[in-house]
Amino acid sequence: MFLSVCFSAQTRGFMDMINWQRLLAQRTVGMRASEIRDAFQLAERPDIISFAGGFPAPESFPVTELRQVMQRLMESEADVALQYGPTEGIYELRCLIAERMSREGILTKPEHVIITNGSQQALDLLFKILINPGEPVVYELPAYIGGINAAVNYEAKPVGVRQDEQGLDVGALEQYLAKQREQGAPLPKVLYIVPNFHNPTGVTLSLSRRERLVALARDYDFTIIEDNPYGDLRLEGTSLPHLKTFDTDGRVFYLGSFSKICIPGVRLGWLVADPVIIQKVCIAKQGSDLCTNSLGQKLVCEFAKSGLLDQHIGTLKSIYKRKRDLALAALTEYLPKEVRWTQPQGGFFIWITLPAHLDAKQLLPGLVAKEKTAYVPGGAFFVDGSGKNTIRLAFSQVSEDDMAEGIKRLGRYLDRMLHSVRPTRAEAFRSA
């Protein structure tokens, strides 16, 4: 008896005394760590040129302006900024968002807005109120991992529909839906999409597909989560209307974020939806975290009210345009001719497709070790297990000085790999 107590104390943390299998919920079985975050850990070493993290450029943070706003805030509104706030978010900020949304063509009142702990929380809460175990959710092939995992954590069954350079292939979606209906198979209740400067591919959904997608949602009675963190960072061309502007009955849920247009360190996103949904999400949020941090809400609200936000978005666009242009020029110069990539009109990402016989996940450790350069292997973004020969390149966080050098290293490495890894007969056929 004494021995066993000693043993249990010594091995705590090494060997479980508890049968966690019995105690953990069924939904933990499907939960998986984001492969992106694993890639970050590998890639965030200071000696590495990393195209992995889809983080905003730290040199872009409006530090001086935020410091001044913060100073004013602590002098005059500390009692609000440091206290608990309402679950829906601070009213002033909800008004400000409603106004911005209305300007963008979505007629929005403050009661259509809830502030969340990053738009990731809005995703979590929407899936919490929408998804029963086993129900299908439609994703693009590829799709943002956080959008996939949020639903998988509620035991959703992800279904993939292919994407091309015009965004989600709405025709392919319609075929899938028609087939499900015909076979009496379960129809999805939710489709998740990033219509502008897609994460991970950088592509933008065309105007005609936007209209058709919302019409399909009506026909097949599903909802759409329109996740738009990059929409304000258009670097060329004309903005397209949000999916939500085509919504006639409240089935499109619009998600916005201050992470990419202001700072991510305050974790502020928002959801625009009909009051019936806002109310459900609000009740779910009460149980999830009571409220979003007031300090960040007041900070961003004051920053925006002073006109600094729109000014800052202008600055960001020139920063990211220079970076994107540098990246695209370097890709043209240094990448082997067998490799293809997208031409994003905004956002943070370029998507690279290698010949089919190359596996980007297998290649990564060599690139890190030999060339001190990193990316995120694209396979993690595919709910159907495909896409092994794809790469997400985030140009947002790499310095202008490192951009060409990093892509040169990538090109050199891929060149070597293309001439050392021989395709099997079947793979060579597929990639032809």
Give which of 220, 163, 215 is closest to 194, Cα–Cα: 163
3-state secondary structure 374-429: ECEEHHHHCCCCCCCCEEEEECCCCCHHHHHHHHHHHHHHHHHHHHHCCCCHHHHH
**Interface pick for a copy of itself out of 2, 21, 47, 79 (rule CB under 8 A):** 79
DSSP 46: T
By CB under 8 A, tell whether 78 contacts a copy of itself: yes
Nearer to a copy of itself, 280 or 412 (CB): 280
SS3 assignment, position 373? strand
Q: Is the C-alpha dihedral spanning 320, 324, 330, 335 positive or negative? A: positive
SS3 assignment, position 171? helix
Cα–Cα distances in angstroms (integers) from residue 99 to residues 232, 239, 241, in the given order: 15, 18, 16
By CB under 8 A, tell whether 335 contacts a copy of itself: no
Q: Looking only at residues 368 through 427 of this chain, which bind a copy of itself when binding is defined by CB under 8 A? A: none
Q: What are the b/e assignments for 142-159, b being 16+ CB within 10 Å?
A: bbbbbbbbbbbbbbbbbb
Q: Are the C-beta atoms of residues 168 and 161 closer than 8 Å to each other?
A: yes
**For residue 123, what are the contacts with CB-CB under 8 A and spacing of at least 6?**
146, 147, 150, 151, 192, 225, 227, 255
- Of the chain, the end-to-end C-alpha distance in Å amounts to 68
Nearer to a copy of itself, 132 or 238 (CB): 132
Q: Are the C-beta atoms of residues 230 and 324 closer than 8 Å to each other?
A: no
**Interface pick for a copy of itself out of 71, 175, 311, 318 (rule CB under 8 A):** 71
**Interface pick for a copy of itself out of 100, 189, 323, 392 (rule CB under 8 A):** 189
**Considering the complex, what minimum distance in angstroms separates the CB of residue 166 from a copy of itself?**
27
**Considering the complex, what minimum distance in angstroms separates the CB of residue 29 from a copy of itself?**
11
Burial class, 248, CB count within 10 angstroms (exposed 0-12 / middle 13-18 / buried 19+): exposed
Q: Looking only at residues 96 through 135 of this chain, which bind a copy of itself when binding is defined by CB under 8 A? A: 116-118, 120-121, 123-124, 128-132
By CB under 8 A, tell whether 37 contacts a copy of itself: yes
173's enclosing H/E stretch is helix 170-182
Any bridge partners for residue 376, and if so which?
A: 392
Nearer to a copy of itself, 33 or 369 (CB): 33
SS3 assignment, position 137? strand
By CB under 8 A, tell whether 28 contacts a copy of itself: yes
**Interface pick for a copy of itself out of 70, 95, 319, 421 (rule CB under 8 A):** 70
Q: Are the C-beta atoms of residues 114 and 281 closer than 8 Å to each other?
A: yes
**Considering the complex, what minimum distance in angstroms separates the CB of residue 222 from a copy of itself?**
8
**Considering the complex, what minimum distance in angstroms separates the CB of residue 217 from a copy of itself?**
10
By CB under 8 A, tell whether 362 contacts a copy of itself: no
CA triplet 347, 169, 237: central angle to 5 degrees? 35
Nearer to a copy of itself, 3 or 25 (CB): 25
Q: Looking only at residues 136 through 165 of this chain, which bind a copy of itself when binding is defined by CB under 8 A? A: 146, 149-150, 152-154
**Considering the complex, what minimum distance in angstroms separates the CB of residue 219 from a copy of itself?**
13
202 Ramachandran zone, left/alpha/beta (phi>0; psi -120 to 50): left
**Considering the complex, what minimum distance in angstroms separates the CB of residue 108 from a copy of itself?**
11
**Considering the complex, what minimum distance in angstroms separates the CB of residue 40 from a copy of itself?**
9
Binding segment (CB under 8 A) for a copy of itself, from list 80-88, 162-170, 332-340, 351-359:
80-88
Q: Looking only at residues 248 through 307 of this chain, which bind a copy of itself when binding is defined by CB under 8 A? A: 248-251, 259, 263-267, 274-276, 280, 282-284, 286-296, 299
By CB under 8 A, tell whether 50 contacts a copy of itself: no
DSSP letters of 289-331?
HSS--HHHHHHHHHHHHTTHHHHHHHHHHHHHHHHHHHHHHHH
Nearer to a copy of itself, 97 or 130 (CB): 130
**Considering the complex, what minimum distance in angstroms separates the CB of residue 365 from a copy of itself?**
22
**Interface pick for a copy of itself out of 39, 52, 87, 346 (rule CB under 8 A):** 87
Strands 268-272 and 252-257: antiparallel
Nearer to a copy of itself, 140 or 155 (CB): 155
Nearer to a copy of itself, 266 or 391 (CB): 266
By CB under 8 A, tell whether 23 contacts a copy of itself: yes
**Considering the complex, what minimum distance in angstroms separates the CB of residue 270 from a copy of itself?**
13
**Interface pick for a copy of itself out of 39, 49, 52, 66 (rule CB under 8 A):** 66
Q: Looking only at residues 192 through 251 of this chain, which bind a copy of itself when binding is defined by CB under 8 A? A: 221, 223, 248-251
By CB under 8 A, tell whether 61 contacts a copy of itself: yes
By CB under 8 A, tell whether 1 contacts a copy of itself: no
